[in-house]
Amino acid sequence: MPSDTTEIILKGISGAPGICIGKAYLVDKEGVDVIEKYAITPDLVKKEINRFKSAVTIARNELSDIIKGVPEDLRQHSGILETHLLLHKDKMLYGKAIDLIENEMINAEWALREATSQAKSMFKNIEDPYLKSRSADIEHVSERIMRNLVGRKDVNISNIDKRVILVAHTLSPAETSQIQLEKIMGFITDRGGKASHTSIIARTLEIPAVLGLDNATQIIKNDSIIIVDGSQGIVIVDPEEETLIRYDELSKRYETRKAHILRTSDLPATSADGHPFTIMGNIELPEEIVAVKDHGGEGIGLFRTEFLYLGRTHFPDEQELFNQYREVAELMAPDPVIIRTLDINGDKAITAMSPPEEANPSLGLRAIRFCLQKPDIFKTQLRAILRAAAYGNVQLLIPMISGCEEIRQTYKIIDEAAESLEKEGLAYNRDIPIGIMIEIPSAAIMAEEMADLVDFFSIGTNDLVQYTLAIDRVNRHVAYLYNPLHPAVIRLIKQVVDAGKKKKIKTFMCGEMASEIINLPILLGLGLDAFSMAPQSIPGIKNIIRKISVKEAKIFLKEVLKQTSALDTMQLITDTYGEILANGTYDENKDSA
Amino acid sequence: MNMLGNNLSRQAIVKNELGLHARPAAMIAKVAIKAKSDVWLCREDEQVDASSIIDILSLACLKGTEVTLKIETPDDMDILNEIITLFENNFEEKR
């Protein structure tokens, strides 16, 4: 590499696979969730209040100008803007924010945020949909003041008029919906992870995305050339000519392979020697069903249900949950929809009930532990699931089971939910398959005993690897140790699959491990029955399964079990299956990219 | 209800189609803000500050709701009357 190189390589999280090269477009607006909170000293309270007041004044002047710009004959429609003008000085917003600055000695931005959310919460119990939606007016007004407080220009994403790569600190659902997608080649954000709304949208639309880059918005300048490698989670700023040529080629090859593999996605996943496998999709929103079907998924193997519980101030009610589950069940019928019950806390905090701070959230009160402690919240969800089960092939999946006792306690609550539905005369189906996630080593070790209690196992590899190897996935210092091919992980999975076979129940895998083709020879050799993954990974995995013989994979597994490190295992896979695997993916060999 | 006869409160019915939505709420608040003392908008046993649009909206008064307006001092009688007129004129909306 020449010494005068100017290219900068940024590493983030892969939000959606694919490669694109284009010009950066910075969205110069921060979402509400990045507002800073800091204390102010008593002598500065007055100054802070004045800062707030002048932001309100500027905001009102802006709005007055907008109103003046409305043509005479359209004036009657500007009534809502006049209302907004008054709202700027409303006691509940303006007065409240000043009170907060004064009494709690916090900065104006945070005070405004607090006042806004309090004002909005007054609308949550209103049933009339029109009046309820007026809380959006408060939000608009608050946003305008906030922009003036933070000192940022009003950027309208919907006005982007060229094909660009969007660079943002964070993108709210409202903003993502504003974007004209045919104009966007890719997304880059400072914040966000694999499960963020932006990532889901990008994956659904198959636009390359790299998230969690920390400071991309500070490093990347408007209109600079950038390469987004969504598959690797890499962004290259101001690339060298050589790099450009290499990525241009990679991108073309990626597209060609993708087109080829997509064409075959409807073919069944039957191994080279005739063993059929079921390949399903993981989803978080009903909208993703389309992607699952388009990519040849034969059911929903993991329906994550946290989305409706996150980022809001109250828990969803049974009807809201039921409507969503029923929609998914009906759309997928007769294929299965495996609904995983609430898996909150850990890395996903819920605002409706602020949990106590935990030193080790992933080892703390989460998932089934949380649900068993809050049987009312749990029962609401179970009732919604049992009711939806009357409309399709719904199955129930319980996360984070660590012992048999938790299964028995869960059954008790399921029975209570069913009894209450029976009493109320509502349509439901209690007679559905119930499975557990195997993601805690103790569950894997006790698999044989647990198999007597449930109808199926679903191995969640992300957590199983993390707990088995004692690695905090979020901790960068130890992340290099995270490897699903660690011999201990493979042995643990084998134990689970063997227990399932002995007790004649099926074992699925729904973690990331199942969506990486390098793992497939081992997984087929282990004898798993079905796999579930991000919809976009389905065609590639089906394609690779068709090229592998289960009989040979079983023999290969014996060799794998002799290995003592993940590295050796990896080498063995490449030596044995390298050629098959290299031809089966959209991505080039990772080393060359 | 005030039984002393100095009529510091009056009743009104929401007649416009969408109820007390943003625009009517803004019209009420605009008048109430001028009052010397507090002006209250009440529905059944709930009472909100009539000078706050947000407060009025949160009362969620649909068409046909009966409300009571209360002032604290006779000095604000003009304000009370002005708001009642707004109700009677259906907030300048067509019927």
Q: Say whether residue B58 is in contact with chain A using an 8 A CB cutoff.
A: yes
Structural domains in chain A (count): 3
Q: What pLDDT does residue A2 have?
A: 45
As a whole number of angstroms, the distance between CA A535 and CA A540 comes to 10
Report the residue count for chain A. Answer: 593
| Torsion sign, CA atoms A331, A334, A335, A337 | positive
Instruction: Based on the fold, state whether residues A364 and A450 are members of the same structural domain.
Output: yes
Q: What pLDDT does residue A363 have?
A: 84
As a whole number of angstroms, the distance between CA A114 and CA A458 comes to 42
As a whole number of angstroms, the distance between CA B19 and CA A558 comes to 74
Q: Do A209 and A228 form a contact (C-beta atoms < 8 A)?
A: yes
Q: Does pLDDT of B35 surpass 60?
A: yes
What CATH number does the domain containing A140 carry?
Answer: 1.10.274.10
What is the per-residue pLDDT across A208-258, written as a single tens digit (0 to 9) for each? 999 888 888 888 888 889 999 998 889 999 998 889 999 998 888 888 878
Mean pLDDT for the stretch of residues A517-527? 95
Instruction: Based on the fold, state whether residues A106 and A183 are members of the same structural domain.
Output: no
Instruction: Based on the fold, state whether residues A194 and A318 are members of the same structural domain.
Output: no
Nearest to A91 among B20, B49, B58 (CB): B49
Q: Do A326 and A332 form a contact (C-beta atoms < 8 A)?
A: no
- State whether B54 and A90 contact (CB < 8 Å): yes
- Tell me chain A's radius of gyration from C-alpha atoms: 26
As a whole number of angstroms, the distance between CA A454 and CA A447 comes to 10
Instruction: Based on the fold, state whether residues A61 and A146 are members of the same structural domain.
Output: yes
The DSSP bridge partners found for residue A507 are A457
Q: Does pLDDT of A524 surpass 80?
A: yes
As a whole number of angstroms, the distance between CA A278 and CA A266 comes to 12
Residue A268, in any domain of the structure: no
Instruction: Based on the fold, state whether residues A182 and A286 are members of the same structural domain.
Output: no
Q: What pLDDT does residue B94 have?
A: 61
| Torsion sign, CA atoms A172, A174, A180, A181 | positive
Burial class of residue A367 (count of CB atoms within 10 Å of its CB; 0-12, 13-18, 19+): buried
**Region of poorest pLDDT, from A346-355, A474-483, A557-566:** A346-355
As a whole number of angstroms, the distance between CA A418 and CA A117 comes to 37
What is the ipTM metric for this complex? 0.75
What does A43-73 look like in DSSP terms, one character per residue? Answer: GGHHHHHHHHHHHHHHHHHHHHHHHHTS-GG
Among residues 40-99 of chain A, which lie with CB inside 8 Å of chain B? Answer: 79-80, 82-83, 86-87, 90-93
Residue A572, in any domain of the structure: no
Q: Do A52 and B12 form a contact (C-beta atoms < 8 A)?
A: no
**Which stretch, A143-157, A565-579, B1-15, has highest mean pLDDT?**
A565-579
**Region of poorest pLDDT, from A180-189, A208-217, A302-311:** A180-189
Instruction: Based on the fold, state whether residues A197 and A345 are members of the same structural domain.
Output: no
Q: Does pLDDT of B68 surpass 90?
A: yes
Instruction: Based on the fold, state whether residues A287 and A357 are members of the same structural domain.
Output: yes
Instruction: Based on the fold, state whether residues A324 and A370 are members of the same structural domain.
Output: yes
Instruction: Based on the fold, state whether residues A97 and A226 are members of the same structural domain.
Output: no
Q: What pLDDT does residue A173 have?
A: 56
What CATH number does the domain containing A220 carry?
Answer: 3.50.30.10
What is the per-residue pLDDT across A444-494, written as a single tens digit (0 to 9) for each? 999 999 999 999 999 999 899 999 999 876 666 777 788 899 999 999 999
**Region of poorest pLDDT, from A126-135, A255-264, A554-563:** A126-135
Q: Does pLDDT of A206 surpass 80?
A: no
Boundaries of every domain in chain B: 9-92
Q: Do B24 and B16 form a contact (C-beta atoms < 8 A)?
A: yes
What is the per-residue pLDDT across A143-156, written as a single tens digit (0 to 9) for each? 888 888 876 554 55
- State whether B54 and A93 contact (CB < 8 Å): yes
Residue A592, in any domain of the structure: no
Element of type H or E holding A500: helix A487-502
Q: Do A8 and A219 form a contact (C-beta atoms < 8 A)?
A: yes
Strands A456-459 and A506-509, by their bridges, are: parallel
Residue at which a domain ends, from A105, A128, A150: A150
Cis peptide leading into residue A334 (ω within 30°)? yes
Q: What pLDDT does residue B58 have?
A: 84
Q: Do A311 and A351 form a contact (C-beta atoms < 8 A)?
A: yes
Residue A124, in any domain of the structure: yes
What is the per-residue pLDDT across A366-387, written as a single tens digit (0 to 9) for each? 899 989 998 999 999 999 999 9
Q: Show the CA angle centred on residue A331, arms to residues A293 and A284, nearest 5°.
A: 70
As a whole number of angstroms, the distance between CA A468 and CA A447 comes to 15
Q: Say whether residue B62 is in contact with chain A using an 8 A CB cutoff.
A: yes
Q: Does pLDDT of A396 surpass 50?
A: yes
Burial class of residue B75 (count of CB atoms within 10 Å of its CB; 0-12, 13-18, 19+): exposed
Instruction: Based on the fold, state whether residues A361 and A401 are members of the same structural domain.
Output: yes
Q: Say whether residue B47 is in contact with chain A using an 8 A CB cutoff.
A: no
- Binned at pLDDT 50, 70 and 90, residue A565 comes out as very high
Q: Does pLDDT of A574 surpass 60?
A: yes
- To the query of whether residue A197 is one of the catalytic residues in this protein, the response is yes
Average pLDDT, chain A: 85
Q: Does pLDDT of A355 surpass 80?
A: no
Q: What pLDDT does residue A229 have?
A: 93
Q: What pLDDT does residue A391 have?
A: 95
In percent, the amount of chain A with pLDDT more than 90 equals 47
Residue at which a domain ends, from A92, A121, A150: A150
What is the per-residue pLDDT across A221-233, written as a single tens digit (0 to 9) for each? 888 899 999 988 8
- State whether A86 and B57 contact (CB < 8 Å): no
Q: Does pLDDT of A341 surpass 60?
A: yes
Cβ-Cβ contacts under 8 Å, B54 against chain A:
87, 90-93, 119, 122, 138
A387 vs A87, higher pLDDT: A387
Place of tokens 């539905």: A421
Q: Does pLDDT of A578 surpass 90?
A: no
Instruction: Based on the fold, state whether residues A361 and A247 are members of the same structural domain.
Output: no
Q: What topology is assigned to B9-92 in CATH? A: Histidine-containing Protein; Chain: A; (3.30.1340)
Instruction: Based on the fold, state whether residues A372 and A454 are members of the same structural domain.
Output: yes
**What residue in B sits closest to A139 (Cα-Cα)?**
B54
B4 vs A194, higher pLDDT: A194
Average pLDDT, chain B: 86
pTM above 0.80, yes or no: no
Residue A284, in any domain of the structure: yes
| Containing structural domain, residue A484 | 273-549
